[in-house]
């Protein structure tokens, strides 16, 4: 199995790991019902996505 030739410094290691953390999720309010949902997801209660009915909702 290959081994590194040199020790990777703490700075170089930490620079690589800066992108590993999770960010905050962004939410959007549905313009018709006012319910809050996650971006790029179908609202399961109403079945709406970006103002268009795309599937049956739980309320149907």
DSSP string, 1-33: ----SSPPPHHHHHHHHTT-S--PPPEEE-TTT
**How do residues 7-38 score in pLDDT, each as one tens digit?**
999 999 999 888 877 788 888 887 777 878 88
Cα dihedral 43, 45, 48, 53, rounded to 10, equals 150
How much is the pTM?
0.47
Yes or no: say if 29 and 39 are a contact pair by the CB < 8 Å rule: no
Average confidence (pLDDT) over 33-44: 82
């Amino acid at each position: 199995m290959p081994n590194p030739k040199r020790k990777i410094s703490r700075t170089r290691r930490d620079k690589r790991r800066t992108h590993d953390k999770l960010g905050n999720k962004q939410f959007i309010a549905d313009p018709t019902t006012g319910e809050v949902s996650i971006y790029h997801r179908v609202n399961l209660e109403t079945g709406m996505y970006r103002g268009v009915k795309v599937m049956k909702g739980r309320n149907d």
